[in-house]
Amino acid sequence: MGGKGLPGVNFEITPMRLEDLEEVLAIEEESFPVPWSKASFLYELLENERAFYYVARSDGKVVGYIGMWMILDEGHITNIAVAAAYRRRGIGRALLQYLVGASKRLGIRYLTLEVRRSNIPAQNLYEELGFVRTGIRPRYYQDNQEDAIIMWKGPL
Question: Cα separations (Å) of 36 from 78, 95, 127?
Answer: 10, 19, 25
DSSP 125: H
> Is 77 inside a domain boundary?
yes
**Do residues 135 and 99 touch, judged by C-beta distance below 8 A?**
no
Instruction: Report the CATH number that the domain containing residue 47 is assigned in CATH.
Output: 3.40.630.30
Other residues' Cβ atoms within 10 Å of the Cβ of residue 62: 24
Strand partners, 114: 150
pLDDT number for residue 69: 98
pLDDT number for residue 8: 57
Q: Cα dihedral sign for 75, 96, 32, 63? A: positive
Q: Vertex 143, ends 23 and 75: CA angle to 5°? A: 60
DSSP 130: T
**Catalytic pick from 53, 54, 65, 126?**
126
3-state secondary structure 20-89: HHHHHHHHHHHHCCCCCCHHHHHHHHHCCCCEEEEEEEECCEEEEEEEEEEECCEEEEEEEEECHHHCCC
> Is 14 inside a domain boundary?
yes
> Is 117 inside a domain boundary?
no
Q: What is the total count of domains within the chain?
A: 1
65 labelled catalytic? no
> Is 23 inside a domain boundary?
yes
pLDDT number for residue 146: 96
pLDDT number for residue 1: 47
**Catalytic pick from 12, 23, 114, 146?**
114
> Is 11 inside a domain boundary?
yes
Range of the domain at 54: 2-110
pLDDT number for residue 5: 47
> Is 147 inside a domain boundary?
no
> Is 148 inside a domain boundary?
no
In terms of Cα–Cα distance, which of 38, 42, 64, 68 is closest to 53?
Answer: 68
Rounded CA-CA distance 93/16 in Å is: 17
In order along its 156 residues, the chain shows pLDDT tens digits of: 445 445 557 999 999 999 999 999 999 999 999 999 999 999 999 999 999 999 999 999 999 999 999 999 999 999 999 999 999 999 999 999 999 999 999 999 999 999 999 999 999 999 999 999 999 999 999 899 999 999 999 999
> Is 95 inside a domain boundary?
yes
86 labelled catalytic? no
